Amino acid sequence: MSKTLVQPIGQKRLTNVAVVRLKKHGNRFEIACYKNKVLSWRSGVEKDLDEVLQSQTVYSNVSKGVLAKSKDLIAAFGTDDQSKICLEILDKGELQVAGKERESQFSSQFRDIATIVMQKTINPETQRPYTISMIERLMHEIHFAVDPNSSSKKQALEVIRELQKHYPINRAPMRLRIHVPEQRSPSVLDKLKEWNASIVSREESGSQHSIICEIEPSLFRDCDALVRNLQGRLEILAVNVHVEGDTFVDQYDDHEDEPSSLRKDSTGSVLQLSEKMQKQTISSESGNSRGEVKLNKPAKAGSSEGEVKLNKCTTCNAVVGDSKEYREHFKSDWHKHNLRRKTRQLPPLTVEECMADLELGDSKADLKEYSF
């Protein structure tokens, strides 16, 4: 007895698809697209329709493979041309995504919003931007929820306004160059002083005065209107001005609370590093600008060289060791403590001084914890 393969004629099974759905005239119409191509089409990156649609067919249910009826297409769209209807659904329809895809999109947009917030804000104490991880942590603490239908920039500005209510965070100033006639210069300077703008430099070239200043972004429109009324010219030199230098999360901890945030158990690595440094005899080369010194060690048999190059940490003003120990040093509490001192323009501490400072801070934190 021969076996025959029976396949349903009116059913099309599609796998690995992204469904775009449009409800019109009480009916549901769907098209099957390739994943990650719908957004490219809507943003104008993808131009080829065949690279977006898996098939130029309109369905009433893609998962079951049910095709849309012609009379429903004519009633809803006024035509039964599948290509034109697919274009309309692709432009106006709602993209159906799975739970993991939606979570990935929310996570990506959350990261974009945090990046914009980081670029547009500064810490008022250090005049430097907060790190991405700290911005994300603050956004979680204010229970921020991503709106997929709103732009990332608009939501970032809302986040900044909300963060300013609870945390020390300011908008990064804008750097502008203002060109005004000589007789109009005093009125511009008075207005900038009223806005608490910081003047970077002033130049005079003939009858024109050039002023480089930094103002709050919220005052940009008022400044632009003022310069236009004075028949001047305004240039944007930098949208966001930050103090140059590396930034770390540890820099933004409160100075009084910072010893309590450091673990006592981690001081063991500092002790081990101190013992290693005491056992080593170091002879530094004068004029070595890269921070490399030579360590005198007993030469091996048959070898005339007994010197090994080591790295020097300029923050701690100490020789650390080879590349592996150099990387471990950056994770130590000694280095982190000196980094915080460096941001406050304080001299670095040695290992012993750092340990004494940490122990003093821990005792202060304990007293503060049990104070009445």
Q: What is the pLDDT of residues 148-178, one digit of tens each?
A: 878 888 999 999 999 988 888 888 888 888 8
Side-by-side strand order, sheet with 198-205? 198-205, 208-215, 174-181, 233-238
> The domain 17-96: what is its CATH number?
3.30.1250.10
Query: In 3-state terms, what secondary structure has residue 85?
Result: helix
Q: Tell me the C-alpha distance between 57 and 54, whole Å.
A: 9
How far apart (Å, rounded) are the C-alpha atoms in residues 263 and 277?
Answer: 23
Tens-digit pLDDT profile for residues 260-317:
343 444 344 444 444 544 444 333 333 443 444 444 444 444 444 445 567 788 888 8
What is residue 299's predicted lDDT score, i.e. its pLDDT? Answer: 45
pLDDT digits (tens, 9 = 90+) for 135-151: 999 899 989 888 887 88
| pLDDT of the residue at 113 | 92
CA distances from 324 to 219, 311, 328, 330, 349 (A): 50, 10, 6, 10, 22
pLDDT of residue 238 exceeding 70, the answer is yes
DSSP 177-191: EEEEEGGGHHHHHHH
Q: Is residue 29 pLDDT above 90, yes or no?
A: yes
Is it the case that residue 71 has pLDDT exceeding 70?
yes
- 219 confidence band (pLDDT: 50, 70, 90): confident
User: How high is the pLDDT of residue 309?
Assistant: 62
**What was the pLDDT predicted at 217?**
87
Residue 220: closest CA among 254, 262, 192: 192
- The per-residue pLDDT for 319 is 83
pLDDT at 200 over 70: yes
Q: Taking the model in full, what pTM does it have?
A: 0.47
**Could you tell me what percentage of the chain is helix, strand and coil, using 3-state DSSP and rounding each to the nearest 5?**
45, 20, 35
Q: What is the pLDDT of residue 195?
A: 87
Cβ proximity of 337 and 259 under 8 Å: no
Least confident piece of the model among 65-74, 120-129, 227-236, 322-331: 322-331
What phi and psi, each to the nearest 5 degrees, are found at residue 130? Answer: -70, 160
Which segments of the chain belong to CATH 3.30.1250.10? 17-96
Sign of CA dihedral 262, 243, 287, 322: positive
Q: Kindly report which listed range (59-68, 84-93, 102-111) carries the lowest average pLDDT score.
A: 102-111
Which residues in the chain are classed under CATH 3.30.70.240? 173-238
β pairing state of 208-215 and 198-205: antiparallel
Which tokens in the block code for residue 260?
């309590």
> For residues 95 and 20, is the Cβ–Cβ distance under 8 A?
yes
User: Domain spanning 173-238 has what CATH number?
Assistant: 3.30.70.240
Residue 57 predicted with pLDDT over 80: yes
Average pLDDT across the chain, whole number: 76
* pLDDT for position 271: 47
Look at the alpha carbons of 92, 97, 101, 104 in this order and tell me if their dihedral is positive or negative: positive
Lowest mean pLDDT: which of 223-227, 327-331, 332-336, 367-371?
Answer: 367-371
User: Domain 100-170 maps to which CATH number in 3.20.20.100, 1.10.10.900, 2.40.110.10, 3.40.50.300?
Assistant: 1.10.10.900
- The torsion angle over the Cα atoms of residues 86, 88, 92 and 96, rounded to 10 degrees, is -10
Instruction: Please return the burial class of 101, using the count of CB atoms within 10 Å of its CB with bins 0-12, 13-18 and 19+.
Output: middle
Per-residue pLDDT at 351 exceeds 60: yes
Reduced to 3 states (helix: H, G, I; strand: E, B; else coil), residue 305 is coil
337 — pLDDT class (breaks 50, 70, 90): confident
